[in-house]
Structure 1
Amino acid sequence: MEAPTLDSMMEHHRFPDDHISLLLLFLYSPIGLFLLLLRIFIGAHIFLVSCVLPDSVRRFLMRIMTSVLGVFTSVSEPHVRDKSVKIYISNHRTYFDHNVVSLITSCASPSVSCPPGFLCWARGFLELGTPGSRAQLQESLKHYLSQTGSPPLLLFPEEETTNGKKGLLNFSSWAFSLSDSVQPLTLHVQRPLISPMVTGCPWVMELFWMLFIPFTIYQMASASFPISKRV
């Protein structure tokens, strides 16, 4: 079987190729613009609520409230966390994967590119100071994991989003150096009429399309047991 090319794993086109789907998208546009404005207003209130609620209550209520924004989450199998696991690893589909997974299970995801500040915090990233070298990032993450009661880290070893159709990018090994075992997760994303993610598109534009389109479905699955480096 021929290995997939890098280009085949990326999504370069937002809109469908067939004329019927394009016509449906055009006819839907007035509704989409209305939903966009309504969801921006509602989303601002959801953000304020999420800032004051404790984690356990927040995740339950946020899964309900984000459905109003058109984001639906499901788990293909009941997610049971192994208490010894401190690292989740997942394929990378959209800029909002870490937000969605955190609604399902308690976790924190660092940003390797977003500088610390309000925007980084508002997007739901774990702030670790000014991004530096990979070695500095690893040391910061190890210090985080050493703290008692800290939620598991959610990492995306691909370090880039893909279309999820052909395969995975080569995993960066640094994510596996932080712990003796990791819990694999898989994400599958579905959206009508347009692609869930286009390579190279800014996250603000992706947020626009998420609020514009009727719904986006994220489905998470987890392995039944963690993977250990000693095995």
Structure 2
Amino acid sequence: MKKGLVIIVFIVSNLTTSFSQNNDTIYKAYVSVQNEEINFSSLKKIKSPKISDYQGSYHFGDSEAESQLEIIYSNDQLFARTEYNDWENNTWVLKHHRESVTYEKGILYIGDISYQLYVCADDSNLFLKKGTKGLASFYNEIENEKVYHYLQFNDDSLVEKSFGDYPETSFVKLSVKDLQRYSKRDLKIIRNEIFARNGFIFKKGGEMERYFLQKKWYNSIEKTNTPSLDTIENHNVNLILKLEKL
């Protein structure tokens, strides 16, 4: 992952290592970065989370290294991307990078880094409200013969999820693997949903107009004959068209 997530990569240790509570072990917890310390005991692991519980927008890093890890749950799977600012031509440019995401036995893997869901259980922290959900990663350091057991808590704010049955088509650049389970009929609907989400006016009385007029979200948005698709949506439209022709 990019930017703010980089701070974790160099210090993550073997997560299977455990330490008993004793005088030589120090437990500390931080929000996003190490200059915002919180009470370790106030964070509680969410037991038996559903895969959909990981949906959210998680804050990483600080200042120029800030980023948001955004995760949505759609069609029985998770899609993740990092949103960050990059300095180009003397200005900050907002960018997105799709992340590899897998879920196994209550643990979320973004690339090679594992996370679990925790929640703030009290109001003892200046930087967190009770009930705030977040992704937690762990690492250990040894200093002066003492073991420091750290928890980094990346707090969640609600992620904006697009309208429709296939919001991932406006969220990340899809691959052939993502789409290979769909029929030609499904692919046609998925492709046209991208246009519908941007208010496209379909042929009057046509199949797609009849289909999307049944969707409340389509009836509530402003319509246009010239929808403006972003880079992600254009990529997905072109890929789906290729698959429809196979």
- Please say which structure displays the higher CA radius of gyration: 2
Q: Which structure is higher in RCO with an 8 Å CA cutoff and minimum separation 6?
A: 1
Q: What's the TM-score, normalizing by structure 1?
A: 0.21
Which has the larger strand fraction? 2
Which has the larger helix fraction? 1
Q: What's the TM-score, normalizing by structure 2?
A: 0.20
